[in-house]
Amino acid sequence: MVSVNEHADGLVVGVDSGGSGLRIALAGAVGGGVLAERVSREPVRTGSGGISAGHFLEQVLPAVGDLREAFPGRPVVAVAVGAAGMATLGDELRAELPGALAGAWGVRRLVLAADAVTAYAGALGQRPGVVVAGGTGLIALGTDLTSWRRADGWGHLLGDCGSGAWIGRAGLEAAMRAYDGRRGGSETLLARAEKRFGPAAGLAGVLYPRTDRPAVLASFAPEVADCAATDPVAAGILARAAAHIAEAAEAACPPEPGAAVALTGGLFRMGEPLLGPLRAALGESLPTARAVEPAGDPLAGAVALAAAHATGTLRLPEDPALLRLFGARPATGGASAQVGAGARERARVRSARGHEGGGTEAGAESGHRGAEDA
């Protein structure tokens, strides 16, 4: 472990890179207190090599240089980058950033993480639990500090169940059912859809050519929430969304009772129409887990990871795709658990407990499902 005195004057850089651009923070290595921030509305480009390291550096190096002018003589001792797509599109960043940042700032300690990991670190820090990050898409990520457990996050065609895009699509389907005269339709949602997108007969032509289809679908989710108090179809959509979110949280949550659960992201700003049924669903799925408010956002998580790496106190598990460390020790290479592993492990433990000492399956389940609360 690095002594606190060694980096008493050191700085760390945290970067949150996503579809809406970059956020960059300069902080003290000891304590991680943020000193200055910079925002860029230009998302980092992707190309044949994945996320472009060159375009990333073109934005980050000058921005950090400007921020450091107010803190002359203080070295950058660690950097953490959280990026959307890091798991599948981060090869170029992993190959080029360690050398580039060492050359630019002399920094040797680098954390490269998926944005779900920085969301986790921002929300829960370095304790066991699960974080559900919900917005246009949705992913649940959990850890017992030994390995990671992921559920969903597969995009609007294969998953993201309960997300903004999922809710919006379900609301528009209900609108089209009403337009056709099929069961399960909502005249209220039909009126909202036509006000936002134009005549229902032309809705497919409006949506299908869009390259930003998930975001367009998600833009209708607040309309569903607005209608939920008086429209049973809209309320039913949110109830199903809540069930999907709870299922993802249960699958990703470590099996130990008392694990912390946090919800983060713009989806949960929809308020009580979604949060009410979600609390009920989580209470059934994860009755002994502890629901907590997220302490911070993904940028705060990136800063926390950088500060922990700088001082040798990082406890979150390394993973080839989700969390890579450079400069302090080699990546462990441990793989994250497959989707549903959390639920399968809980089932295995419940079954084993049911066979030990003659306990019933129901009794084992009621005694062990507690770590599954989001």
Query: Tell me: the pLDDT tens digits for 201-259?
Result: 999 999 999 888 898 999 999 999 999 999 999 999 999 999 999 999 999 999 888 89
Average per-residue pLDDT for the chain:
85
Residue 190 or 343, more confident: 190
- Is residue 117 within 8 A of residue 301, CB to CB? The reply is yes
- Among residues 25, 21, 18, the alpha carbon closest in space to that of 89 is found at 18
User: What pLDDT does 84 receive?
Assistant: 86
Using H for helix, E for strand and C for coil, what is the string for 97-136? HHHHHHHHHCCCEEEEEEHHHHHHHHHHCCCCEEEEEECC
pLDDT higher than 70, residue 68 = yes
CA distance 232 to 225: 11
pLDDT at 329: 54
Residue of higher predicted confidence among 167 and 342: 167
Alpha-carbon distances of 371 from 129, 256, 259, 260, rounded to whole Å:
8, 5, 5, 8
pLDDT of 334? 45
Pick 99 or 332 by higher pLDDT.
99
| pLDDT of 197 higher than 50 | yes
pLDDT of residue 88: 84
User: What is the structure's pLDDT at 8?
Assistant: 72
- Mean pLDDT of the 59-86 span: 93
pLDDT confidence tier of residue 154, bands split at 50, 70 and 90: confident
